Structure 1
Amino acid sequence: MTAGLESRSTLRVRYAETDAMGVVHHATYPVWFEVGRSDLMRDLGLPYAEVEARGYYLMLSGLNVEYRRAARYDDLLTLVTRVASVRSRTLTFRYEVWRGLPEGGDLLATGETRHIATDRSYRPARLPEDVLRALQGAGQG
């Protein structure tokens, strides 16, 4: 991942997130990515609730997850979230899921989500300048 602001979220694997083999189910990772995205937006002073109250949605347009190692019940994880790219109507977030801390932990998965900004009618919309500036600043390092 490129340099820039990162948000770190601590997660503990819950039993309900595992499959019959005791491994975190693959569908859990996108849910965790949402946690990281929400935390990063909050860290930027742009909570999703505020962005939505201003009339904008960041709709998911693409998702990718690369699984490297299994996470298991009760593992303590660190989710690192970064802004990868920002344009007037689109943005991309990148994620790393670590067992333990990135400094010395095991990288379990990486991922990316792509989003398009829309208005309340779900039409593509240019994000407000202050939101763009904050997101662009987060992606620089």
Structure 2
Amino acid sequence: MTATDPGATVPETRSALRVRYAETDAMGVAHHATYPVWFEVGRTDLMHALGLPYTEVEARGYFLMLSGLNVEYRRAARYDDLLTLVTRVGNVRSRTLTFSYEVRRGDELLATGETRHIATDKTYRPARLPDDVVARLSGRS
């Protein structure tokens, strides 16, 4: 199943972020390594919004291990900018899922990204996610 199946609503959250001084370089520009950290904030917020905190996923015996990361930088975020991080669930399958991200300053798109994850059990072997977890992530719950 994918989050774009007929009848499914693509889950989305918007997280407010303010660029902290520690996240910038000497020019006051947000360092490129900060964006994946922001993406984690978005994933955490989205999982909570779905009523599926990551702690619950782990308690049920699963990890959502990062298997891929992509960031496309368009414009610089600067110290003290107020940003909006839009996070969406992308493709959802029984063992894999993707999240997509937009980093915005007002209406201006600063960066886009995607993370890909594989579900594993506690021994790090690929595992099939329970149907109710797939349904929530797919926007069908």
For 2:70, the equivalent position in structure 1 comes to: 64
The one of 68, 90, 98 aligned to 2:96: 90
How far did residue 136 of structure 1 move? Answer: 1.2
The C-alpha deviation readout for 1:73-96, integer Å capped at 9, x for no partner, is: 000000000011000000000000
The one of 122, 134, 137 aligned to 1:132: 134
For 1:117, the equivalent position in structure 2 comes to: 119
The one of 66, 79, 87 aligned to 1:81: 87
How far did residue 21 of structure 1 move? Answer: 1.0
* Paired-residue identity, %: 81
Can you give the 5+ residue segments of structure 1 that lack an aligned partner in the other structure? none
For 1:54, the equivalent position in structure 2 comes to: 60
> Moved runs in structure 1, 4+ residues, more than 3 A?
none
Equivalent-residue separation in structure 1 for 2:135 and 2:11 (angstroms): 13
**What secondary structure sits across from 2:43 in the alignment?**
helix
AA of the residue aligned to 2:127: A
For 1:107, the equivalent position in structure 2 comes to: 109
AA of the residue aligned to 2:125: R
Can you give the 5+ residue segments of structure 2 that lack an aligned partner in the other structure? none
For 2:29, the equivalent position in structure 1 comes to: 23
RMSD (Å), alpha carbons: 1.2
How far did residue 5 of structure 1 move? Answer: 2.2
Aligned 1:29-44 pairs, distance under 5 A: 29-44=35-50
Equivalent-residue separation in structure 2 for 1:129 and 1:4 (angstroms): 17
Equivalent-residue separation in structure 2 for 1:14 and 1:29 (angstroms): 12
Equivalent-residue separation in structure 2 for 1:76 and 1:126 (angstroms): 38
TM-score, length of structure 1 as denominator length: 0.92
Equivalent-residue separation in structure 2 for 1:5 and 1:131 (angstroms): 13
Aligned length: 133
Equivalent-residue separation in structure 2 for 1:64 and 1:74 (angstroms): 24
